Amino acid sequence: MRATGLKAVALAEEHFDAHFPGNPVLPGVCLLEGLAQTAGVLIERTVEGRQLALLTTVERARFQAFARPGDQIRLDVEIESLDAGIARVRATATVADKTVASARLTFKLVSPDHLIPPVYQPFWRQMIDTWLGRYLELSDE
């Protein structure tokens, strides 16, 4: 299973104030976060929402080039393995077909019941659906 996400880098993003003045570079942790979030969506869709993916390990993280304001980052993730409680994902971020970052991500899969009290689960599910672009349909009534 594979998924692709896109991130448009804007100069208005807060971290550019200090990273680095006069030479804005997207922090590597932001690249890893984008890859992890894209992988999280892929895993959520793959397990049909039955489990939550919690990032536990980042291995072999490599940063080969910079992402700067005005760039569009392509976030490609592929599930290498998905077992009972663990998902391993290969992740690559590219700008204009040039690799800027890559890593292998490991996620622990847990039941939502272990993290979210039952009374909050409907709100959590609505938030996840909105995050994934699945919006509630409004009626005219």
Determine the Cα–Cα distance for residues 52 and 43; give it in Å rounded to an integer. Answer: 8
What token pair was written down for 100? 């800027």
Q: How far apart are the C-alpha atoms of 86 and 91, rounded to whole Å?
A: 16
Q: Is-catalytic flag, 19?
A: yes
Marked catalytic residue, from 5, 13, 19, 92: 19
Nearest-angstrom CA–CA distance, 52 and 108: 8
User: Cα separation of 62 and 69, whole Å?
Assistant: 20
Cβ pair 65, 95 in contact under 8 A? yes
For the annotated catalytic residues, the residue numbers are 19
